[in-house]
Amino acid sequence: MLWPSYSFFALLPAVVLAYSTHHAENQEPFSQERLEELERKWGIDWGFSGVSTFAHLPHIRCLTHPEVEYDIGIIGAPFDTAVSYRPGARFGPRAIRAGSSRQTSFRGFNPRANLNPYTSWAKIVDCGDIPITPFDNALALHQMSEAFKELGARPPTSESLASSTPYLHKPKLLTLGGDHSIALPALRALRELYNKPIAVVHFDAHLDTWHPAKYPSAWIDPTDSSTQSFFNHGSMFWLAATEGLIANGSSVHAGLRTRLSGDEPEDFTDDSQQGWIRIATDDIDEVGVKGIIQSIIDHVGTEMPVYLSIDIDVIDPGLAPGTGTPEPGGWTTRELIRILRGIEGMNVVGADIVEVSPAYDGGTEATGLAAAQVAYEVLTSIVMKGLIDQAKTGETEEKARDEL
């Protein structure tokens, strides 16, 4: 075989540069009509095609592109090394995005709300994932805390910033987990952003307010709050309460059916001292969906900033098996969605959907599908809240009235 001489390779960059320059100089500029034609031909994906972003939304690595404006950012937190039972939720963001593949802007109209969240006032983007270490939970917590603060401090779109509607003045983040411990860094960021404690509406089979020492170990000092193992997916709200992140007396658990520690209901006592109201799964049989909705609204109201935290295990594992700590006897997907629709008037400033662990889904993708639908309902409610507030302030409102 004859190989080209060294001089050929030395000249190759110049040859390529000359060709590319010549090509560019003789390239006809694309007209707006040509660009629109290309978009009409190739700008739409089917549910099964395209790169897997949430609902085929534009993907931007928001953490590294501070110039990008958005009103709602969807951010993945692929972290699961703070679980007490089954791992695998690091793959949750990927599964939820896959579950959202049939959601598109051209078929995204939500008839219950009479709007399409993907084509309304809010610019929604998929911000990708936070690159979180799986080796060091202290570092992981630091990374997530910094990432949420960074993203939360960004301005919204210019149109929203210029609006007279305060709800539009700060971007909203919807986090795809990841295990439930990710709520702690998110609440840290919101506490700093809003300069006050945040109310939490927490859908979960479990309390997640356990004192970390309730996980027994002879190897740690239960009085040392700096112990790394205290950061876990069952104690993050206890940590948040000790840090003053949660509004005492205005936060609600919904869908509870957990077993408690020891021989007495001490866990409930600790939970009440942290200011939580508890709604059990079984309560739905007594008061129905409307009663659950009314109880949440009565305790939280519609003015206080709210963080909506949804553990997918609030749904019965027969319908959503792909989760880290399954508890039989949960709500149906339909019941959860109806409750979420009923509380859409709340002042939601951030949300998460966590504990999707797709390895336990089998081939059904049921849990990822359920989580994606829940995300769609949350997005719809945030967009609807923005439209209602715009109508109240009396601005733009031709579009707001049309959509409502």
State the Cα–Cα distance between residues 188 and 197, nearest whole angstrom.
9
Binding-site sequence positions: 180, 204, 206, 208, 311, 313
Distance CA 233, CA 43 (A): 41
Two tokens, residue 67: 């110039």
Residue 143 tokens, joined: 């990374």
Identity of the amino acid at 389: D
Beta strands in 317-375 (DSSP E): 347-354
Hey, how many other C-beta atoms are within 10 angstroms of the C-beta on 310?
A: 27
Task: Find residue 175's DSSP bridge partners.
Answer: 75, 352
Neighbouring residues of 273: CB distance < 8 A, sequence distance ≥ 6: none
Tokens of 198: 């945040």
Residues 6+ apart with CB under 8 A from 112: 341
Enumerate the known binding-site residues for Mn(2+). Answer: 180, 204, 206, 208, 311, 313
What order do you get walking across the sheet with 172-177 strand by strand?
124-129, 72-77, 172-177, 347-354, 305-311, 199-203, 251-256, 276-280
Cβ atoms within 10 A of the Cβ of 328, count?
Answer: 9
Cα separation, 374 vs 312, in Å, equals 9
